[in-house]
Amino acid sequence: MRHLIDPMDLSVEEINHLLDLADDIILHKEKYQEVCKHKKLATLFFEPSTRTRLSFEAAMMELGGNVLGFSSANSSSASKGESVSDTVRVVSGYADIIAMRHPKEGAPYAAARKLSVPIINAGDGGHNHPTQTLTDLMTIRREKGKLDNLTIGMCGDLKFGRTVHSLIKAMSRYENINFIMISPEELRLPDYIIKDVFEKKNIKYKEVRTMEEVMPELDILYMTRVQKERFFNEEDYVLDTIAQYPNDPTLGKLTFMIDLKNQQKDLNVADFNGVGKSKLTMSLGYKDGNYPSESQVPIYTSQDVTAKYAVKLRLKGELLVSGDEWMIDYVYAQLASLFQPYPPANFPEVFMCKGGMKLGTFDSFRRTCTFDITYDRSDLSFSQLYFNLFINLAGQKRENRVRLRIDKESYFELYEQSEEM
Q: What residues contact residue 45 under an 8 Å CB cut-off, 6+ apart?
A: 52, 53, 69, 70, 71, 72, 100, 101, 122
Give the whole-angstrom CA distance, residue 300 versus residue 298.
5
Answer whether 260's CB lies under 8 Å from 412's CB. Answer: yes
Give the whole-angstrom CA distance, residue 10 versus residue 19.
12
Tell me, yes or no, if 52 is annotated catalytic: yes
Give the Å distances, CA to CA, from 160 to 84, 156, 209, 215, 240.
22, 10, 17, 23, 12
Nearest to 114 by CA among 139, 92, 81: 92
Given the residues 3, 53, 87, 101, the one annotated as active site: 101
Answer whether 172's CB lies under 8 Å from 144's CB. Answer: no
Answer whether 303's CB lies under 8 Å from 348's CB. Answer: no
Tell me, yes or no, if 80 is annotated catalytic: yes
Residues linked to residue 328 through DSSP beta bridges, in sequence order: 393
365 — alpha (psi -120 to 50), left (phi > 0) or beta? Answer: alpha
Given the residues 28, 38, 50, 80, the one annotated as active site: 80
Given the residues 3, 43, 52, 403, the one annotated as active site: 52
293 — alpha (psi -120 to 50), left (phi > 0) or beta? Answer: alpha
Give the Å distances, CA to CA, from 318 to 171, 354, 393.
32, 16, 15
Answer whether 89's CB lies under 8 Å from 114's CB. Answer: yes
Q: What residues contact residue 265 under an 8 Å CB cut-off, 6+ apart?
A: none
Give the whole-angstrom CA distance, residue 202 versus residue 411.
45
Tell me, yes or no, if 405 is annotated catalytic: no
Given the residues 38, 51, 228, 265, the one annotated as active site: 51
Give the whole-angstrom CA distance, residue 132 versus residue 164.
10
Q: Which residues are catalytic?
A: 51-52, 80, 101, 129
